[in-house]
Structures are given as structure tokens and as C-alpha cells.
Chain A
Amino acid sequence: MRALRSREISQLVAKRLMQIKNLFESSKDAFLDIVDADNYVQIDRVAIVYRSLIEAIQKPLKMILLYGKPGTGKSMMLGRIYKDLHKKQKIVLYQTPIVDESEFFRSLARDIYNYTLKEDINFTRFNELSKSHDSELVPVVMLDEAQMYSTTLMEKIRLISDTRKIKFIIALHKTEREDIIAKEHFQTRIWEAQQLHNASAGELKIYIQKKLMRASCFDVANMFNDKNIRLIHSLSDGNYRDTNKLLFTLFSIASWYEEHQPTKISYTEFSSKVIEMAAIETGFIDA
């Protein structure tokens, strides 16, 4: 009876698949490793961090720290905040670190105060500019990959935040070194720190299914059973970036099978074999 039902489902899925040219191609695109605020997936724990950051921005805090392991969604979080707030207040997001000090201050002057003169702007000059600009809403500057900035520049950023003319949200990888940076430069400052974690297996399932549903890949979303999710979670350790890479490769392999050997792939669930092949290709499994 169960076998019959399973066969019927399989036939229905196969029939549905006939209507679509290549099922896995569109699924694959949903997991391209790009930071796009539109692809931001709201998961319970991430949503809490998001709300905390939004509330922190409203408070008279000078600096806010967002930290977590690589691939936990810091960049995506900053992108989402920028997207949600940029129409309401002055907010700047630097996803790529500007290591040169002069270039950094010139960029800040341009993006915050619309100062477009091509003169060299140093720390003193920038402070003069900020004093000359008063606004009710303090502009927010978000610096992604802040661990790339030099210690000197970080100290100057701290001094700027002390003037309360600009709020900074600094996103760091949580490593030993970055903790030291945080302690040395920001320990005595008023700030709020939020940490992002890797996803649990349950969260990862929601993440994958939400992404696939947004891409209208409902059939593929249903192909992931708990066993598949547990295997993916164990391979990626719940890291969103690694999960994206793994699933992108998984769908690439599935897409190849669909084109070349469609009898070798099941349309009701993903086999562990295909997931392991994807993990071998992405380097998560050393084989």
C-alpha cells in the first residue's frame, strides 16, 4: 500500500517535471553565493538579531558590533538593514573595506555629507565637516569585514563615534584576534554587541525550503527530507555560505543527471549519494 502510494507520487512528480524543462537549473540559481538583501531569509534566531540591531540604531549608542563566524549571515544582515532603513534615514554600507585612510574619509564625506570636492580629507578635516553638519537623525555607517581596517583607522573611527555625529555598525568575524581588537578599541565605549550563529538543522531546513519556494521550486523543496537535511547540516555545520555552495553543486549534479541519465535520479527525494558527491566536489568531504 505504501509502495503503491510512493509510486503514485513518483509518477505525479515525474509528470509535473515533464512540464518543466530542467527542474534543478532554477533551483541552482537560488543558491548562488551573492549578498542580495532580496534573498534574505528570515529565521527565528536571525530575526531576533535583526530586531535588536534596528532597536540599537534608534538608541543613542555610538557603536554597535555585529560578529559571528564566516558565513553566518552578517553581510546579509547589514544588507537587509540598509535596504529597510535607507529610505528613512541616512545610512551607508561599506561591504568592501576601504583600507586607505584618506579614501575612507573622502568616501564618508561624500556619502554622508554629499561633499564631492576632490581634496585630500584627513581625520581633522572630516571632523570639521561633521561639526558643520547637524541633523536630527544621526547618520549610520555600516562597515562590513571590519577586521580588515588598520588599528590606527579603527582608533580614528572610535574617536569619530565619540563625537556622536555618526553611528557605526561594525561587522567582524569572530576570531581570537578580532576579540582583541574589540577589547582594545571599543571596550570603554557604549555599544551593543550582537552575535550571529550557524543554523541548526531545523533552521537550515527552513532556510533551504524558503529559498526554493521563493524561486518557485516547490517540487524540489519537497524533495528534501529530514535525513537529507541532517546530512547537509553535518557537512556544512549549519553555515549558510557553505550550505549555499553545497546546494548549488548538488543541483548542478542533479541537473546533469536529469539531462544525461534521468533514470539515475529520484524525483521524490535526494539520495545521500548525490549529496555526498556534491560535498566531495565542494571540498567538504576529502575523497
Chain B
Amino acid sequence: MLNVLELEQRQKRYSQRKKVPLYLLVVLVLLLFIVGVIIFTAMSDETKPAAQLDGAKELQSTQTSTEDTMLENSTLSSASRSSVSSDISSDHVAKRMRLEPSMDFIQDLDETDLEYYFEEPEEKVVSVPRVTQKPTQAPQSQQRRSDISSIVPSRERVVAQKPAQQQPQREYRAPAQHTMSIERENDMRDILDVIKRFKRNKNPALSLFVAKRYYAIGEYQQAYNYALATNELDSSIEDSWLIFAKSLYHLDQKDVAIRTLKSYLDQTSSIKAKIAIEQMQNGSLR
């Protein structure tokens, strides 16, 4: 006798049982996927430090070659040179790492675009040791400078740079202290980059930065120009007044500088301005 209801139940059980391999397959695939992801993650974690180590080694080798060059050019005594060389070849070299940003892209910039901001086109800033030297200037620059010379006489351009003779000593100390130093070789490139940005957005903070950088490297004429530009954009910035006046001071316009600061002091009672006036008056301003 056909028992259809019981058959229905048996068929239901059979249908569920039939799907078990499918479920198992799905679970297996999921497990394999998870295991694969875990293995992949683990492998990528292993390869990452190795890659970093390779990068570090490359950097070290580059640094070593750079340092070798620097050492060759330096005026170290033979004794100190041999000690540095032995130090470089030692394991300490691996731990010493110095990062230097590459600003090569700035070289591609068209400098003629920056003429407006320089107001002294084609003027070339040369980094030299602290040795007094008259810079060679293009005729056009001289024309400009003669205009300014009514206020400020021609000056020696000095770039703040540590003497080359001191460099090997500093290089030598670094491995012992395991410190990392970041050195900017060319401030001018930074300045050019900021000038380009300032040209785009006329941000007084940028022109102030340029003014300060020029002031720091002894380019007082440019520092004066950018301090003035900053002041025109925003006269409430104290530093623009200070850089402006200090630049004037260094351009042998001490009286004008003090007068400018006093007029600013009348409006703001700035302590920094007071100090600067005092330093100018007693000749201690640097």
C-alpha cells in the first residue's frame, strides 16, 4: 500500500541529505579561501621587512659612497681620515642613516616666472663658505642694485654654511650617538618652491617665510622685498615689520630701520620691536 505521506517525509530527508556535499563543498571553499588569505597576509608580512631591509642597505651603500666622496674632498688629516674610513667600514655604519630630501625638481622650474617676485632677475645666489668674497653679478643685476644702492650699498653675500673642515668631525660623531640628522643643502631651492606657491595664492605667510629664509641666508635685499610684500598684504604681522627693519639695518640703513620700528612701536608696543631697536642702537643685532 502506497504511503505517500511517509514518502514525502523520506524524500524531504533525502533532499536535505543530498545537499550535504554541497554545503561541505561551500564550507571547504570558504575554509580554503580563509587559509589562503591568512597565508597571503603572513607572506606579505614576511616580505615587507625584507624589502625594507633591502631599501635600507641600498641607502647605506649610497650614503657610504657619498660619505667617501665627502671625505676625499675634505681637509682631514691622514690620521683622522683613516679613523673615519675604518669607522665607515665597521658595523656602525649600518646603523647610521642620514636622509636628504631631493629638491632636483625645482631645477626644472622656469626661473623667469619668478622675476616679478625677485625684482632682481637673473641674480644668482652662490653658496660659499664664510669667506668674504665679492660676488660676480650680471649687468642687469647691477642696474637694479644701483637703484637700491641709493638706500643700501652693495654687500657681500654670505650663505650660512658650516665650514667644510668641520663636516668630517660631525660625520664622525654621528655613528657613536646613533642619531639621525636631516640637512638641507640648498635653501634657495626651498625658497624658489615657496615663491612659486606664493605666486599662485598670494598668501602672506608664504612671503613672510621667504623673507625669513632670505634673511637667514644673508640675502637682506630679498628679505627686505618680501617683508615689504608681506606687509602690503597684511600689515598686522609683527615679523614682517621686524624682518623689514632688520634687513634695512643690514643694508646699512640703520636710521631708517630704527625709525620704522619706532613707528610700529607707537601702534603696537611690541616687545620684540623694542628689543630690536635696542640691539640696533648698541650694534648687537645679528
B11→A256 contact, CB < 8 A: no
A273: which B residues are within 8 A, CB to CB?
A: 11, 15
Interface size of A by Cβ–Cβ distance < 8 Å? 13
In the complex, per-residue mask of A138-170: 1 if CB is within 8 Å of any chain B CB, else 0: 000000000000000000000000000000000
Q: Which residues of B in the span 124-157 have a Cβ within 8 Å of any Cβ on A?
A: none
Say yes or no for B20: interface residue by CB 8 A criterion: no
B8→A277 contact, CB < 8 A: yes
Say yes or no for A252: interface residue by CB 8 A criterion: yes
Q: Which residues of B in the span 58-114 have a Cβ within 8 Å of any Cβ on A?
A: none
Say yes or no for B42: interface residue by CB 8 A criterion: no
Interface size of B by Cβ–Cβ distance < 8 Å? 10
B2→A276 contact, CB < 8 A: no
Q: Which residues of A in the span 240-260 have a Cβ within 8 Å of any Cβ on B?
A: 249, 252-253, 256-257, 260
Say yes or no for B14: interface residue by CB 8 A criterion: yes
B7: which A residues are within 8 A, CB to CB?
A: 253, 277, 280-281
Say yes or no for A12: interface residue by CB 8 A criterion: no
A249: which B residues are within 8 A, CB to CB?
A: 2
A276: which B residues are within 8 A, CB to CB?
A: 11, 14-15
Chain A binding surface, main DSSP class: helix
B13: which A residues are within 8 A, CB to CB?
A: 287
Say yes or no for B173: interface residue by CB 8 A criterion: no
Smallest distance from the beta carbon of A264 to chain B beta carbons, Å? 9
Contact A256 B15, CB 8 Å, known A280-B10, A287-B10 = no
Say yes or no for B4: interface residue by CB 8 A criterion: yes
Smallest distance from the beta carbon of B75 to chain A beta carbons, Å? 94
In the complex, per-residue mask of B1-25: 1 if CB is within 8 Å of any chain A CB, else 0: 0101001101101110100000000
A252 to B17 Cα, complex, angstroms? 25
A281 to B14 Cα, complex, angstroms? 12
Smallest distance from the beta carbon of B29 to chain A beta carbons, Å? 25
B11→A287 contact, CB < 8 A: yes
B4→A257 contact, CB < 8 A: yes
Nearest residue, chain B, Cβ from A278 = B7
A253→B11 contact, CB < 8 A: no
Interface centre among A253, A276, A287 (most CB of B within 10 A): A287
A260: which B residues are within 8 A, CB to CB?
A: 4
Nearest residue, chain B, Cβ from A274 = B11
Say yes or no for A14: interface residue by CB 8 A criterion: no
Say yes or no for A285: interface residue by CB 8 A criterion: yes
A276 to B17 Cα, complex, angstroms? 13
B15: which A residues are within 8 A, CB to CB?
A: 273, 276
A281 to B10 Cα, complex, angstroms? 10
B2→A253 contact, CB < 8 A: yes
Smallest distance from the beta carbon of A32 to chain B beta carbons, Å? 16
A277: which B residues are within 8 A, CB to CB?
A: 4, 7-8, 10-11
Nearest residue, chain B, Cβ from A280 = B10
A256 to B2 Cα, complex, angstroms? 9
A281: which B residues are within 8 A, CB to CB?
A: 2, 7
List 18 extra interface pairs beyond A277-B7, A281-B7, A287-B14, CB under 8 A: A249-B2, A252-B2, A253-B4, A256-B2, A256-B4, A257-B4, A273-B15, A276-B11, A276-B14, A276-B15, A277-B11, A280-B10, A280-B14, A281-B2, A285-B14, A287-B10, A287-B13, A287-B17
Name B residues whose Cβ lies closer than 8 Å to a Cβ of A.
2, 4, 7-8, 10-11, 13-15, 17
* 19 A-B pairs in the complex with CB atoms less than 8 angstroms apart: A252-B2, A253-B4, A253-B7, A256-B2, A257-B4, A260-B4, A273-B15, A276-B15, A277-B4, A280-B10, A280-B11, A280-B14, A281-B2, A281-B7, A287-B10, A287-B11, A287-B13, A287-B14, A287-B17
Closest 8 CB pairs of A and B: A287-B14, A277-B7, A287-B10, A277-B11, A256-B4, A276-B11, A280-B10, A252-B2
